[in-house]
Chain A
Amino acid sequence: MEWIQQLINGISLGSIYALIALGYTMVYGIIKLINFAHGDVFMVGSFIGFYSITVFGLGFFPALIISMVACALFGVIIERIAYKRLRNATRIAALITAIGVSLLIEYGVIYIRGAQPEAYPNIFSNKTFSILGAQISIQSVLILSVSVVLMILLQFIVHKTKTGKAMRAVSHDVEAAKLMGINVDNTISATFAIGSALAGAAGVIFGVYYTKIDPLMGVIPGLKAFVAAVLGGIGIIPGAMVGGLVLGVVETIVSALGFSLWRDAAAFIILILILIFRPSGIFGKNTREKV
């Protein structure tokens, strides 16, 4: 019984990692940039959801949608202002810019509203029901279903729409895509928009599930999601989903065995092992690395 409960705990945690990891992986896949500001977009999304619910009295779904739209815009603005002009610069310059943007967002939010944490209002009842002896709250069911729906939607966009096709083409070969008449700038913006929207959704879900949000809340989930993306194979969308879920379940197992203080360490040990033994990740194909 305890193990079923732990599995549910792990999957809930993992689905949040997966939603954030998707944004990392999409951006990496298309412009080979590790967008360290992504965890902070997640934080901003969480706050937008919080204010939509508390100040404007909206329900969960309107708040979720507002947060996704706002984060999509935010992501595009970040890309246009900070990353676009660095597209032909060295990778390290872009990476350092991403860290700078991350710090700017974190401390910008602290400057605007202070560093004190905020408690998400209880918008779902705390009712739980038990399946096979495991306690499942209505919240976690809803959160899991929202995550699954968003992931299916993403698969649909990437594989069945024109934008998705353009994204795949740009990620494959930027020059060739340009020659085929694809507007690379718009495609990159669309990628940022979709990835950031998912982070915004993850932010609202995180708030509802874990209650406490604060301006630095994006740092650790952002790093964990990065690990998840690398674990699944960075740049590969199904890899991010699987990587996120695996990471969530592994962390839960580590705590369940009584090593709760080792939980964060476990995530980063996984990162190190993956980088040593299978740098392209679970789903990655071994390609020749251009040096």
Chain B
Amino acid sequence: MKKSKFASLFLASSLLVGMLAGCGAGEEGSGSKGGDEIKIGVNLELSGPVASYGSSQNDGFNLAVEEINAAGGIDGKQIKLVTVDNKSDAAESTSAAIKLTSQDKVAAIIGPATSGNSVAQVQIANDSKTPMITPSGTSPTVTVADNGSVNEYAFRTSFIDPFQGTVAANFAANELKVKTAAVYADNASDYAKGLAASFIKDFEAAGGKIVQQESYVAKDTDFRSTLTRIKGANPEFIFIPGYYEEVGLIVKQARELGITVPLMGADGWDSPTIVDLAGAEALNNTFVINHYSAEDPDGKAKEFADKFNDKYGKAPNSFNALGYDTVYLLKDAIERAGSTDGTKIKDALKATDNLDLVTGLYSVDENHHPVKSATILEFVDGKQVFNTKVNP
């Protein structure tokens, strides 16, 4: 309680300082909004523990901005990115947002990459009426506050965590056409529990039956007894939301026990280590959900992969794609708003409907949660191969 009071006092005073500073530079500030360029703030993790996420997205941002500017900008105005490194730290993220909104007077902020750092920016965005879009903040709390009210100025490009459960349920019921499923979830993580709950709800709604529901705790190493129990219930499909460290062992032990049915997980599986842990052979016939695949044959996705490869000399990952899409999402909103006024951009973002992006068709629901396509990848001999795209 004390802490939050202190924090809000700190924020209020820094905002005030920012506003005063803004007054002095009033001439310049209005120039950025009315002139021939649009300033967009970038608040990213460019150093620190999750710097790989931030720098991947920064590559995506730069590619998109380069393209848009080469094609004449937004309504004839060039985009100018103002980049601040938040050092993968929530407090730094807050001060970066204060700098961008009060000093640089940006029209909108893109970033940060992680949910925690995005939440640290939300209050500033709301107070200064500056729309923000996080490319990959997947926690629902970025756009919906704890008390259930929507953070008006916060948006995201990626789907939210529980949505992946829905995708898995649709994939199992419609593509794999299975009737029974088991769920084996990490009981220590909200992420896994959220995915399991939405999977169960939607799988049952699609006419499927959950025959067994089991839990494990992160750091376990022996899953054989529970897997034997699951095997006894004879499910046609097993959904395992969790992180790769345990999932790798679960997949290996499941196959050893003679469980041959398809296994499926979400983006928590996305690490090369999973192949070392489970072994390439055991991973066959397993599926994962991700935001994007460089092998997606869809025209737009392929075009992006080629352009990215030309500029950076490597295949793009999902963070690159989400970063790239974030810029186009914002461009679309600014064009429709016909202005760089924060409130108008916010309203336009809210009205985004079936926008065609690299990571799929994109719409926004009333909680600012995207309704969009998800990519399903299949492990084939240890490599993730594009399987299909599931539209909402």
Contacts and interface: CB of A to CB of B under 8 A. Distances in A.
Given A119-B276, A263-B225, 6 more contacts: A117-B245, A119-B248, A211-B248, A217-B221, A251-B222, A260-B226
Nearest to B245: A117
A260 B232 CA distance: 15
Closest 8 CB pairs between A and B?
A119-B276, A255-B225, A135-B258, A252-B225, A9-B224, A2-B232, A260-B226, A210-B221
Contact of A212 (B226, B228, B248): B248
A117 to B, nearest CB: 6
Nearest to B255: A126
Interface stretch (B47-55, B116-124, B277-285): B277-285
B252 A130 contact: no
A137 B60 CA distance: 47
Contact of B214 (A117, A252, A260): A260
B259 to A, nearest CB: 9
Nearest to A16: B222
A5 interface: yes
A5 B257 contact: yes
Interface of A: 2, 5-6, 9-10, 12-13, 117, 119, 122, 126, 128, 130, 135, 137, 139, 210-212, 217, 220, 251-253, 255-256, 258, 260-261, 263-264
A261 B282 CA distance: 25
Contacts of A251: 222, 225
A238 to B, nearest CB: 24
A73 B154 CA distance: 60
Contacts of A2: 228-229, 231-232
Nearest to A125: B281
Interface string B203-216: 00000000000111
B279 A122 contact: yes
Contacts of A263: 225
B273 interface: yes
Nearest to B219: A220
24 contacts: A2-B228, A2-B232, A5-B231, A5-B257, A6-B225, A13-B222, A117-B273, A119-B248, A119-B273, A119-B276, A126-B279, A126-B281, A128-B258, A130-B258, A135-B257, A252-B224, A253-B225, A255-B226, A256-B229, A260-B214, A260-B216, A260-B225, A261-B217, A264-B217
B187 interface: yes
B279 A212 contact: no
Interface string B251-274: 010011110000000000000010
A260 B216 CA distance: 7
A211 B249 contact: yes
Contacts of A255: 225-226, 229
Contacts of B224: 9, 12-13, 252
